[in-house]
Amino acid sequence: MATLKYDKNGRLLFTKEMKKEYTVLLPQMASIQFRIMKRVLDEYGYNTVLLETNGPEIAQTGLKYVHNDTCYPALLVIGQFINALQSGKYDVHKTALLITQTGGGCRASNYIHLLRKALKKAGLEFVPVISLNISGLEKNPGFTLTLPMARKLIGALVYGDTLMLLSNQTKPYEVHKGESMALVDSWIENIVGQYKEGRGFKLEQQKQNLDDMAKSFSNIERTIVPKVKVGVVGEIYVKYAPLGNNNLEAFLGEQGCEVCVPGIMGFALFKLDNRLQDIELYGGNKVKYMALSKAYDYLEKMENLIVECAVKYGFNPPGKYSHLKNLVKDVVGLGNKMGEGWLLTSEMLELAESGYPNIVCTQPFGCLPNHIVGKGMIRKVKELNPNANIVAIDYDPGATRVNQENRIKLMLAIANENLQNRLDEENKKSMVKKVKIRTTVSDKK
């Protein structure tokens, strides 16, 4: 058994010895992206398990070890970790937990302290917690984020966002059910295989892979029929995680909708942009500023590749970060950057603009920023986009799934009515056009 070591502040470290012996548990969030990221960590010698556990017992475990006023995503992530440790599936003396820290003032930076407190309360304080961050917040001898590893993890977001976008636009229309998700699985294996061979994460290689991806999805046999298009926004965990939003995407799919969930790349650019603005406004390390600028330019180039491949093969492209930033001018200040900040408002504006006017705004309990830039901006978004049909859904331990889904169904009833009205109007215009053509031909005779 590995010897437990602590830093000068008493924090339990994840050592090099532990890397060889320990299983590292990862929380689930964005399914496609995290599946690729897990495989990247495995490639670098970590024995990881991506937790797929679901059910009410997760929230109940979270409530047992986290104060009930804590934000709902924190409660779920911590509940999922402790539930796994208490399940008997893992040797708790040879298990570690990994969680991200963005360096901001919201959940992604502060969960780690709540998690350690909860572990102590559960009698599991000997379980090390690894921080995955690019801000130098915490370091561990047994976990090093190298440049090649970072490039592959970023590539996982690029490929994952693209696969999510392409599958969401083909799945509702596919003739052979299951073909889109089978193609997602195939591409994940393809990308992981390339990574192992030292390929697939350079810019030109990514460009070719993304082009091939879009082409393969465009070849799926589809029946194009009018469907209600629904966008999903909100706090990042609840927006993506089926555990956090009660399988929202699956529910919308069952209702016959085409779903659009904005990718994680926009959030990554948002976080880098915020750091750059902070240095510009308040001063800071010039070397750090240059490094962040290069990282921002790199992500922007990859964002352009996603847009290009989508447009080339007839898919609706994601909104570019620069366009999203421009959309919120005179709507909400760019200083609103805690959590998802102004980006959440901008995503609603972009979805309404790009053909997804029906929007579910996921509101986790305890997330004050989300309520301000999400629910608090709905009226303004509707003023700017009269066709916007938005419903804010609260997610917390006390909210029932039936109530959430009934409220979404009310939004969808309006969406279906709007769709039918649009189709009727298009039919009328088509009939008028035909009559005019016939009249013109008759006059000539």
Q: Domains of the chain: which residue ranges?
A: 16-144, 146-225+281-315, 227-262+319-445
pLDDT at residue 105 is higher than 80: no
pLDDT-based confidence at 19, cuts 50/70/90?
very high
pLDDT-based confidence at 435, cuts 50/70/90?
low
pLDDT of residue 234: 95
Order the strands of the 358-364 sheet from edge to edge: 258-260, 229-234, 358-364, 389-395
Q: Using CA atoms, how far apart are residues 75 and 68, in angstroms rounded to an integer?
A: 8
Q: How many CB atoms lie within 10 A of CB 432?
A: 10
Percentage above 70 pLDDT, the chain? 94
Q: Using CA atoms, how far apart are residues 5 and 13, in angstroms rounded to an integer?
A: 6
pLDDT of residue 125: 96
Determine the average pLDDT of the residues in 145-174.
96
> Do 370 and 235 touch, CB atoms closer than 8 A?
yes
Encode pLDDT of 334-381 as tens digits: 988 888 999 999 999 999 999 999 999 999 987 888 889 999 999 999
Residue type, 405: E
Determine the average pLDDT of the residues in 164-177.
97
pLDDT-based confidence at 426, cuts 50/70/90?
confident
Q: Using CA atoms, how far apart are residues 329 and 384, in angstroms rounded to an integer?
A: 12
The dihedrals phi and psi of 360, each to the nearest 5 degrees, come to -100, 120
pLDDT at residue 65 is higher than 90: yes
Domains 16-144 and 227-262+319-445 share a fold: yes
Task: Tell which wins on pLDDT, 399 or 264.
Answer: 264
pLDDT-based confidence at 404, cuts 50/70/90?
very high
pLDDT of residue 361: 97
Residue type, 247: N
pLDDT of residue 402: 95
Determine the average pLDDT of the residues in 127-150.
88
| CATH class in words for 16-144 | alpha beta
pLDDT of residue 437: 56
Q: What is the DSSP letter of 26?
A: E
Alpha helices in 354-400 (DSSP H): 368-373, 378-384
* Residues in CB range of 101: below 8 A, 6 or more apart: 108, 109, 111, 112, 131, 132, 133, 135, 137, 138
Category of 222 on φ-ψ map: left (φ > 0), alpha (ψ -120 to 50) or beta: beta
User: Which of 58-62, 162-166, 337-341 bottoms out in mean pLDDT, i.e. has the lowest?
Assistant: 337-341
pLDDT at residue 111 is higher than 90: no
**Which contacts (CB < 8 Å, 24+ apart) does range 148-154 have?**
148/201, 149/40, 149/44, 151/201, 152/40, 152/43, 152/195, 152/201, 153/37, 153/40, 154/201, 154/268, 154/298, 154/299, 154/302
pLDDT at residue 130 is higher than 70: yes
pLDDT at residue 440 is higher than 90: no
Orientation of helix 31-43 relative to helix 147-170, angle to 10°: 150
User: Which of 187-201, 243-257, 288-302, 430-444 bottoms out in mean pLDDT, i.e. has the lowest?
Assistant: 430-444
* pTM, to two decimals: 0.92
pLDDT at residue 432 is higher than 70: no
| CATH class in words for 227-262+319-445 | alpha beta
pLDDT-based confidence at 110, cuts 50/70/90?
confident
pLDDT at residue 434 is higher than 80: no
pLDDT-based confidence at 443, cuts 50/70/90?
low
pLDDT at residue 430 is higher than 90: no
| Mean of the per-residue pLDDT values of the chain | 92
Q: What are the b/e assignments for 220-255, b being 16+ CB within 10 Å?
A: bebeeeebbbbbbbbbbbbbbbbbbbbebbebbbeb
pLDDT at residue 70 is higher than 60: yes
